[in-house]
Amino acid sequence: MLPNFDNTEIAFKYRSDKALSRANFLFSSMASPWLAKLGMDFTQFAFKYSLPIKWAVKETIFRQFCGGEDLAETVLAVNNIAAYGVRTILDYSVEGKDDEAEFDHGVIELKKTIASAVAQKPNVPFVSVKPTGFGRFALLERWHDGAPLSEAEQAEKERVIGRIDAICKEAAANQIGVLIDAEESWIQNAVDDLANTMMARYNKTRAIVYNTFQLYCHSRLDYLKKSLALAQAKEFILGAKLVRGAYMEKERARAAEKGYPSPIQIDKEATDRDYDAAVQFCLEHLDSIWLFLGSHNEGSNAKGAAYLVANGIAVNTEKVWFSQLYGMSDNISFNLAHAGYNVAKYMPFGPVKDVVPYLMRRAQENTSVAGQTGRELALIRKERQRRRSA
């Protein structure tokens, strides 16, 4: 069965009238670049100077894009979407830490997250891991460059590997998947090394660990193919999470500043071409690759779904997952789930103040990606009208 992404009744059934009204207000605001920028700037200013705006942020943008401030609160959101066949990737989204105590604390928090995922089985099949939450950015840069490390840096590197390994080991013991996030291109080699090391350890009979391939980087389609060759040579299953990417402006600005060729595709068409080629490549190699198709693009999701049907592959095969961010593209997520496909929403959680960097990226993404906010608004307004007419 192929999904119908225009069915708003299925897409928003889990949302109350109040929640739809809030979403309409938010996406309307983000449709105006100057208003969105004003809101983002004020929010960052207010938190920096401890102005009392937490309640306002929590009841608007936080409520739209995050599950809760802690696991107990987040479970309510998990159960809400699970009732409609959509599962959850738990993402502890506290960012910007830079010392050993915080990195060690991150392991504790991820183990708690895994325990919550186990308690919520099968509603939470994955957790997300951001490598910069477990090691210094400057160390990852040197690691990426292949620079000789001092004795102290080598010990620090081993601690980073140990932290990620502790998380993956705990997840593997409980059959919970680990999605290792991509990072900026100038530390990505270090992230790839971490992911490949963990996949070689834990992906012997099934994919537990997934590396992320950002296809807005023109080198990643080729690296995906090299990753399969590595997995086959070392006899492990490649877990491949495919996304378009999230750091385009930063990447181009740094390349211009430092005077090196931009790693970013020349245009959106090139990104789309490589993304769909990567999906096709993974689907053609499901004997060796387990695919996590992370996309808000209706065309890419439709092509992935159609491939399974056309090739007689069970649409709920454990080897293929579709995913979108919580609070976005519900027409894709819930209609795919309704048609029987495996779908999991990325659901960030954490204290409001600590999650602000994530929220600012969501606001910026919805403002900058051509057509995205308009599509969200059109679907929300269509459903509100349908409910009024029912």
Each residue's pLDDT tens digit, 201-252: 999 999 999 999 999 999 999 999 999 999 999 999 999 999 998 777 789 9
pLDDT value of position 1: 81
Domain formed by 68-351, architecture: Alpha-Beta Barrel (3.20)
Please enumerate in sequence order all residues whose Cβ is within 8 A of that of 144, keeping only pairs 6 or more positions apart, or say none: 186, 187, 188, 189, 190
The token pair that represents 6 in the structure block: 């225009």
Model confidence band, residue 273 (pLDDT cutoffs 50, 70, 90): very high
pLDDT value of position 59: 83
Check pLDDT > 80 for residue 125: yes
Nearest to 100 by CA among 127, 130, 61, 139: 139
pLDDT tens by residue, 330-367: 999 999 999 999 999 999 998 887 877 777 777 666 55
Does the model's pTM come out above 0.75?
A: yes
pLDDT tens by residue, 141-173: 999 999 999 999 999 999 999 999 999 999 999
Rounded Cα distance between 244 and 141, Å, is: 22
Q: Got the DSSP string for 1-54? A: ----TT-HHHHTTTS-HHHHHHHHHHHHHHTSHHHHHHHHHHHHHHHHTT-S-H
For the chain, the structural domain boundaries read 68-351
pLDDT tens by residue, 168-195: 999 999 999 999 999 999 999 999 999 9
Rounded Cα distance between 337 and 343, Å, is: 6
The token pair that represents 80 in the structure block: 């809400």
Rounded Cα distance between 222 and 207, Å, is: 21
Model confidence band, residue 81 (pLDDT cutoffs 50, 70, 90): very high
Check pLDDT > 60 for residue 370: no
Least confident of 65-79, 293-307, 326-340, 359-373: 359-373
pLDDT value of position 373: 76
The token pair that represents 231 in the structure block: 């997995």
